[in-house]
Amino acid sequence: MLGVMYAILFYVAALILVVGVVMKIWTYARVPAPLKIPTTPAPRTRFGVILRVFREVVFFESLYKSNKWIWVFGWTFHMSLWLVLARHLRYFLQPVPLWVEVVQPFGTYAALTMVAGLLGLWARRVLVDRVRYISSPSDHLMLALLVLIGLTGILTRFVAHTDIIAVKTFMLGLMRLQIGYLPGDPIMLVHLLLVIVLMVIFPISKLMHAPGVFFSPSRNQIDNSREKRHLAPWAAKLEG
């Protein structure tokens, strides 16, 4: 019964996540950019733009230049998150690729640095007056959700151990549309439930900045306004 309930929740959450993210990206792609507004100094070639977006996505270049302390917490959280997600791939792949096996010990301790980064970002929203003023309840709730996901994951790894073989079997079964046995360990169930909640609210939350950064005209535009007139597609149709 427990396995059936969580299987239904995961299927519904996955559907909402995929459809919601695709719809948001489709909306981002269709929004017109009538002005040439790259943040200067900006690259003057397409290859330069690709390098700029890469540095922004991987190294958080603009954040590093604006505030070193926020950059430390933000970059630590995001890079740790990638390691944690890579480590969790072992629950969905069989056989497990070598690179996923190699990342396992790094992903284990990355959970600790992920939570540390989140707590640092959360403290900023509480302690810095100008940031606290513009912070909404949803900002705090999102940070609380991510922290709880990290903490419950850490507890299942270091304190309240669960049957990870059974959990992996359950997840692999979901991938094949087969519902299997799910261990009833409370902390593991809370951890999975929090992940389901995150999947549901992801498409309507500020976490959509993850794909949104690729559609930011201040980052993805070439600084060639002197050489070439910028004309949005919809404006070109009107002129034609």
- In tens digits, the chain (240 residues) has pLDDT values of 888 999 999 999 999 999 999 999 999 998 888 888 898 889 999 999 999 999 999 999 999 999 999 999 999 999 999 999 999 999 999 899 999 999 999 999 999 999 999 999 999 999 999 999 999 999 999 999 999 999 999 999 999 888 889 999 999 999 999 999 999 899 999 999 999 999 999 999 999 999 999 999 999 999 888 888 777 776 666 665
Indicate the pTM of the whole model: 0.90
- Domain ranges across the chain: 38-218
| Both tokens assigned to 211 | 């794909």
* 196 neighbors 9 (Cβ within 8 angstroms): yes
The shares of helix, strand and coil residues in the chain, as percent rounded to the nearest 5, are: 75, 0, 25
Identity of the residue numbered 121? L
Work out the burial of residue 77: count CB atoms within 10 Å of its CB; fewer than 13 is exposed, 13-18 middle, 19 or more buried.
buried
The dihedrals phi and psi of 214, each to the nearest 5 degrees, come to -75, -15
The owner of tokens 């994951």 is 153
pLDDT score, position 160: 85
pLDDT score, position 35: 82
Rounded CA gap, 144 and 204, in Å?
Answer: 17
* 210 neighbors 34 (Cβ within 8 angstroms): no
Closest listed residue to residue 191, CA positions, set 164, 155, 166, 137: 155
> What Rg value do the Cα atoms of the chain yield, rounded?
21
Domain 38-218, what architecture? Up-down Bundle (1.20)
pLDDT score, position 21: 97
* 165 neighbors 188 (Cβ within 8 angstroms): no
